[in-house]
Amino acid sequence: MGGLGKTTLAKQVYDDRKVHKRFKIHAWVSVSHPFQIEELLKDLVHQLHNVIRKLAPEEVGQMRSDKLKEVIKNLLQQSRYLIVLDDVWHINVWDSVKLAFPNNNRGSREMLTTHNKNVTLYSCYGHFAGTDN
């Protein structure tokens, strides 16, 4: 349901100084409608490079999604990270990006905001409730 303040609450948590101290790497990605995986991944690569204060490779603009996911995974592998995906409307968005996020056993987190209960269930449990809300 829209208008409940999900993004506002997530942004307050994300912007908190204590959160930034806990997570060495952090990024906030607004998901476009219609969803474009390569644009989302390129945005994430650039944000991650900004946080670690390195220039993103010039070839990022020409990379395909599999290579972008590999770059992201390599950047995140050795650090505790927080990635927020804001306004995820469909399960396929999570399916398209989840493999870029390593389970590095460092307390890292991915946070999603969504209007769709199935996205929430699927991202947490790997299945959905069978309705479209």
* pLDDT for residue 131 is more than 50: no
Please give the model's pTM, rounded to 2 decimal places. Answer: 0.85
Write out the two tokens for 5: 């303040």
83-92, pLDDT tens digit by residue? 999 998 888 8
Which structural domains are found in the chain, ordered by start? 6-125 (3.40.50.300)
Q: Rounded distance, CA 96 to CA 99, Å?
A: 7
Using CA atoms of 94, 100, 101, 102 in order, give the dihedral in degrees to the nearest 10: 140
Res. 56 pLDDT band, cuts 50 70 90: confident
Query: What mean pLDDT is predicted for residues 21-31?
Result: 94
Lowest mean pLDDT among 14-23, 71-80, 88-97: 88-97
φ, ψ (nearest 5 deg) of residue 23: -110, 115
- Report the phi/psi class of residue 18: left, alpha or beta, with left for phi > 0 and alpha for psi in -120 to 50: alpha
* pLDDT for residue 133 is more than 50: no
In this predicted structure, what is the pLDDT of residue 132? 46
- Percentage of the chain beyond pLDDT 70 is 90
* pLDDT for residue 69 is more than 90: yes
15's CB contacts (< 8 A; 6+ apart) are: none
